[in-house]
Amino acid sequence: MSENVAIIGVGSTAVRAVTPEVSYRELTFEAAQRAYADADISHTEIQSAVCCEEDFFEGISIADEYTPDQLGVVLRSVETVTGDGLHGLAVAAMQIQTGIFDVVVVEAHSKASNILNFDHVIEYALDPIWNRPLGFHPEFVAGLEMNRFLKESGASVEDCDRVVAKNRTNALANPIAAYPARITAEDVAQSPDTFSPMRKMHQARRADGAVVLVLASEERARKASRPIWITGTGWANDTPTLESRPWGSDAATRAAAKMAFGEAGISDPDKEIDFFEVDDLYAYRELLTLASLGVKDGAGKINTSGGSIGMGHTLDTIGLYRVAMCVEALRNGSAGTALAHAWRGVPTTSAAVAILSNNHG
Amino acid sequence: MKPNFGTPLSSADIESGKVFSVSYEPRLEYAWDTGPAIGRYLQELKNGRLVGRKCHKCDRTFIPPRHFCELCFRPADEWVVLENTGTVNTFSICYVTWDMKKLTYPQIPAVIEVDGASEGYGILHLIADVDPNEVKVGMKVQAVWKPAEEREGSITDLKHWSPLK
Amino acid sequence: MRIPADHEHSAWKGNLPFGSFYTVGLAGQAFFEALRDRGEILGARCSKCEWVYVPAALFCERCFAELKDYTPVAHEGDVVSFTLCHLDLEGERLDPPDIVAIVRLDGAQSVLVHRGLGDPSEWSIGARAKVRLRDDREGSILDIEGFELI
Amino acid sequence: MTKFVRRAQETPPELSWAAAKAALDSAGMTLDDIDCVIHGTAPDAFDGVHYNGEYLAGGSGAWGKPYTRCYVGGGTGVFAPIHAWMHLASGKFKTALVVCEEKMSSCQPHPQGAFLTIFDHTTERALGPNLLWIFALEQQRYMAKHGIKNEEIALASVKNKRNALDHPSAQLGAELTVEEVLASEVMAHPVHRLMVSPTSDGAAACVMAVEDVAKAVTDKPAWIEGVGWALDTAFWTNRDLYYPRYVEKAAWMAYKMAGIEKPAEEIDFAEPYDPFAYKELHHLEGLQLAPKGQAPKLLAEGHFNRDGKLPSVPSGGLLGVGNPIAAAGMMKICELFWQVRGEAGKRQVKGGNPRRGVAQAWGDLMQVGTVIVVGAS
């Protein structure tokens, strides 16, 4: 990167299936207060904010209206990106690299529990002319991709069962995870078919939560107690159409990884990265993501937090929870270089990657 | 720079079936958690009174109430029961509904600065029981509530505002 | 509507009360005219990218050329993938499940998404399938009834 | 740009492509030359697709490329190139394709109905608010504070609709009088029908590049000299609506970057956001191009005419060209580009040689200001 950027503060709420005691405002306020305390900054020092959200997840048109107050950034530069939090992280880092800001925050939250008919919202994302009139449950898209991926890769449904057992079990050690469970692959194999070959337990369950990150320029980060450096970011889209995508591979993640690895100077992720927090909205996606990242030996390094299957599917906050888990591992010494990855879910082909490290350059 | 696209269609193009189309009714339904501040606000509307929150640090009393002060960025300190009266900050006389249907009798939306809140702090609401031509910026108004048994914890429990008598 | 969640917490219930009306676009218009009037599945060829889009598209996503070479593709092709949908849009279980298939029609590079017809247990990736059309076509993707295995 | 029309036959991705392709052609570039893609559109209620940014990716040229969709409500059209500027000024990319699209006609029963859902779901929507309310409330406050008459405001409609007669994409160019504007029906007092921009379908796009690429592609690039944006509190009923302080904040951010100290003297022409007639005047004041409350007087004196000292909305604006929200903001950026290159034809200001122009958009709950200063080579 042309100018080094660090994460100097992380704040998150616990991930929970429901959060009836708070609105999105108080939920985000909690994450922001934690982040600013972690960074040891006042809200007055923040020059800009990047928020990540979608109108129909919020139930608000032009939902960016309601972003500044709970971040303490009234009358400052605030923008909204309809992307995962990792897209927001990349945008915030670029803002700092332009030289106009020293301190920028990134925010995303999920009040998934407030959406009464989530499947209808996702249905509304299907192409209105070609796909939506067919009237299927929209997650057929994941079923198609899983089936094709298994065929091309040689991975099995049992491999996917094992991903679920691993991530749910990993979540037992994560105090902010919503869905920890002591289960085995055999338990997963018993769960009902949904979008065959997919089973119900292969799908991450939705949850509420908020994350705020404080990013700073190198000069400002040097004054912070525990900066974690963003050594590479990458993001990319494949075609939005169902008709023209490859189906058995994830071109968006491959392109995003290539960009991030290039920036971070990584040529062999197996050797150079020791901690991976990657997309697992569906169990097969963890396997597909690792293949797309070029990771061959992931034993003990993949989604030790529990991933989205163990922690919860927090809409566009997924990527920021991945980053929060990476930062924790880097700070406590259990990792030297970490990778966070997110995919935005069906029917999108939108992926982002960030490489984080205790050191830079 | 003569544009090549942006092909205009008339209603006849659609109605005659000349141009193919698809209609769809999305189901986008929510139950938004109110949280402590707006939850209490609604509950007090059911009780027939307006409440605000006060931040001791900046000494502001704000309505709609928030759990935290967005300027000091700290939890707000106390609830304040506001007056039943206020001042018209600005208003309109509107002849169409939200979906552009014509109204025979216009609505009078307004920002009402509520007495007891900090100066200039108001809420969006409606003015009624008045000749629209009589409404002025700066006019004093009072809240007119629905009967207690009809109130349900909604901003419409406050029926409207009318000139202070 | 305010709904008390329990004695202390409440939620406000509401919806986004609008509908949507979509024109099918310039390429869609050509596609549906061919489908309705001639029973053809229209593709659009990008000669530079050697890629035939089905359904026909106005532009090539890869090189951004305007596509003007519209030609029908075959009604038969390979099953690229399929899934059995055990849930409907309301989350209710379906028995038998819906079959959703993507089929690469001969002559096309992209796939067509539609309902799979017949016995779910007979479907497999790599099988051959063909389009079944409705007789009463009106210019919609539903003018195609689905794919049947050959 | 596409034409701006009431209802377009093209789908949203087709409109996006049409504008993006025209922008690439005008730069003599192809998709292979583009490093990253930015889309601006808001809200999703218009195109009628959830994850609308994803839906529009292919039509925007994002296949296989880094792509984000940004939005700040109505401010999006001028913000999208700011978002693109970050991509380039960070050193990360050399070229960006910026596309803005809106197809409002998809929204039923009336596009304006979508605006109910911009209001607070719990404390405001039950009152049945519409977009006219907030404009009328703001205009009333502006008029009351300064003692401005509606005749003075109607003149902005007359000027912009007349200017739009010379714009090839325009939906509503017209030769009108102040009397005709005030004789049009009252929608929401003090707002009359001819003071309101139409709902529209359309798209607009531009290509941005870092200095060395720009100089290689053209001998007269339009330079981005300054950018600024600011978002005010969502609690809009706690603010005095008579003055857009968020526009002032955004403007000074952009002016400082551009080295401008006396904007009214150093800027040659302006494209302030004009979805309603008074907004142009309101925004000229926020942009520091007229003293508070003085924009109506300067308008009446001809100051903001195409041949005036500081031409404002020479394009014809949202009132005349049309208002496919984000695309309308981008249309203003296109106008800056054509004006500083001396390519604006009959719309040209300053004898074809303006040194520098400013474009601005506004949005959300009367809350956001987005500002770009563009200079000639």
Helix (H) or strand (E) holding B37: helix B35-46
CA D281/CA D264 separation, integer angstroms? 14
Residue C2's pLDDT is 65
Give buried/exposed letters for D239-264 (b at 16+ CB in 10 A, else e).
Answer: bebbbbebbbbbbbbbbebbebeebb
Residue B165's pLDDT is 87
Q: What is the mean pLDDT of chain A?
A: 97
D47 token code pair = 């195109």
CA B45/CA B65 separation, integer angstroms? 12
At B131-143, the pLDDT tens digits run 999 999 999 999 9
Give the CA distances from residue B94 to residues B105, C97, D191, in Å, rounded to whole numbers and listed in that order. 9, 52, 9
Of C18, C22, C27, the CB nearest to D45: C18
Give the CA distances from residue D324 to residues B69, D159, D277, D310, D319, in Å, rounded to whole numbers and listed in that order. 36, 20, 16, 26, 11
Cβ-based interface (< 8 Å): residues of B facing A: 22, 24, 26-38, 66-68, 70-71, 73
- pLDDT values of chain D reduced to their tens digit, one per residue, 377 residues: 999 999 999 999 999 999 999 999 999 999 999 999 999 998 999 999 999 999 999 999 999 999 999 999 999 999 999 999 999 999 999 999 999 999 999 999 998 889 999 999 999 999 999 999 999 999 999 999 999 999 999 999 999 999 999 999 999 999 999 999 999 999 999 999 999 999 999 999 999 999 999 999 999 999 999 999 999 999 999 999 999 999 999 999 999 999 999 999 999 999 999 999 999 999 999 999 999 999 999 999 999 999 999 999 999 999 999 999 999 999 999 999 999 999 999 999 999 999 999 999 999 999 999 999 999 98
Residue A3's pLDDT is 85
The full length of chain B comes to 165
Instruction: Judge whether A263 and A90 are in contact, CB under 8 Å.
Output: no
Residue A2's pLDDT is 53
CA A67/CA A87 separation, integer angstroms? 17
Instruction: Judge whether A232 and A263 are in contact, CB under 8 Å.
Output: yes
Cα dihedral angle (B74, B78, B79, B85), rounded to 10 degrees? -90
Task: Report which residue type is found at D361.
Answer: A
Mutation site for A-interface testing, chosen from D16, D35, D83, D86 by largest number of A Cβ within 10 Å = D86
Taking the Cβ of residue C20 and every Cβ of chain B, the question of whether any pair is shorter than 8 Å is answered with: yes
Of B7, B17, B22, the CB nearest to C22: B22
- Measure B32 CA to nearest chain A CA, in Å: 5
Taking the Cβ of residue C140 and every Cβ of chain A, the question of whether any pair is shorter than 8 Å is answered with: yes
Taking the Cβ of residue C85 and every Cβ of chain A, the question of whether any pair is shorter than 8 Å is answered with: yes
The bridge status of strand D67-71 relative to strand D36-40 is: parallel
Instruction: Judge whether B161 and B110 are in contact, CB under 8 Å.
Output: yes
- pLDDT values of chain C reduced to their tens digit, one per residue, 150 residues: 666 655 567 999 999 999 999 999 999 999 999 999 999 999 999 999 999 999 999 999 999 999 999 999 999 999 999 999 999 999 999 999 999 999 999 999 999 999 999 999 999 999 999 999 999 999 999 999 999 999
D86 token code pair = 């970050």
Residue B79 has pLDDT above 50, yes or no: yes
At A51-60, the pLDDT tens digits run 999 999 999 9
At A275-297, the pLDDT tens digits run 999 999 999 999 999 999 999 98
Instruction: Judge whether C112 and C41 are in contact, CB under 8 Å.
Output: yes
User: What is the reported pTM?
Assistant: 0.98
Q: B2: pLDDT confidence band, cut at 50, 70 and 90?
A: confident
CB neighbour list of residue D250: distance below 8 Å, 6 or more residues apart: D228, D229, D230, D360, D369, D370, D371
At A332-355, the pLDDT tens digits run 999 999 999 999 999 999 999 999
At A83-123, the pLDDT tens digits run 999 999 999 999 999 999 999 999 999 999 999 999 999 99
> Looking at beta carbons, which residues of chain D come within 8 Å of B105?
none
Instruction: Specify the 3-state DSSP secondary structure of A20.
Output: coil
CB neighbour list of residue C141: distance below 8 Å, 6 or more residues apart: A129, A130, A131, A133, A134, C114
Instruction: Judge whether D337 and D357 are in contact, CB under 8 Å.
Output: no
C87 token code pair = 């849930």
Instruction: Specify the 3-state DSSP secondary structure of D153.
Output: helix
Q: B99: pLDDT confidence band, cut at 50, 70 and 90?
A: confident
Mutation site for A-interface testing, chosen from B42, B70, B99, B124 by largest number of A Cβ within 10 Å = B70
Mutation site for B-interface testing, chosen from C7, C10, C64 by largest number of B Cβ within 10 Å = C10
Residue C5's pLDDT is 55
Give the CA distances from residue D359 to residues B146, C115, D107, D115, D284, in Å, rounded to whole numbers and listed in that order. 48, 50, 28, 24, 10
Closest chain B residue to A25, measured at CA: B35
Helices of type H across A22-84: 24-39, 55-58
Put simply, the chain D residues between 258 and 277 with a CB less than 8 A from any chain B CB are none
Q: What is the mean pLDDT of chain B?
A: 96
Q: Angle at Cα B152 formed by Cα B151 and Cα B156, nearest 5°?
A: 70
Q: Could you tell me the end-to-end alpha-carbon distance of chain D, in angstroms, rounded to an integer?
A: 23
Task: Report which residue type is found at D371.
Answer: V
At A216-264, the pLDDT tens digits run 999 999 999 999 999 999 999 999 999 999 999 999 999 999 999 999 9
CA A206/CA A188 separation, integer angstroms? 18
| E runs forming strands in chain D | 36-40, 67-71, 95-103, 107-108, 186-189, 191-192, 201-209, 223-231, 269-271, 356-363, 368-375
D74 token code pair = 């109505």
Side-chain half-sphere of A252: how many Cα atoms within 13 Å?
Answer: 28
Q: Please return the burial class of D88, using the count of CB atoms within 10 Å of its CB with bins 0-12, 13-18 and 19+.
A: buried
State whether D137 and B94 contact (CB < 8 Å). no
ipTM: 0.97
Helix (H) or strand (E) holding D212: helix D211-217
CA A24/CA A175 separation, integer angstroms? 21
Closest CA to B111 of D236, D233, A66, D120: D236
Residue A148's pLDDT is 98
- Which chains contact D through at least 3 pairs of Cβ atoms less than 8 Å apart? A, B, C
Instruction: Judge whether D268 and D357 are in contact, CB under 8 Å.
Output: yes
CA D100/CA D359 separation, integer angstroms? 15
CA A181/CA A312 separation, integer angstroms? 12
Residue A1's pLDDT is 42
Eight-state DSSP code of residue D4? P
B42 token code pair = 């609604």
Residue A38's pLDDT is 98
Mean pLDDT of A297-304: 94
- Measure A279 CA to nearest chain C CA, in Å: 21
Instruction: Judge whether D318 and D330 are in contact, CB under 8 Å.
Output: no
At A117-170, the pLDDT tens digits run 999 999 999 999 999 999 999 999 999 999 999 999 999 999 999 999 999 999
- Measure B24 CA to nearest chain A CA, in Å: 8
CA D297/CA D299 separation, integer angstroms? 5
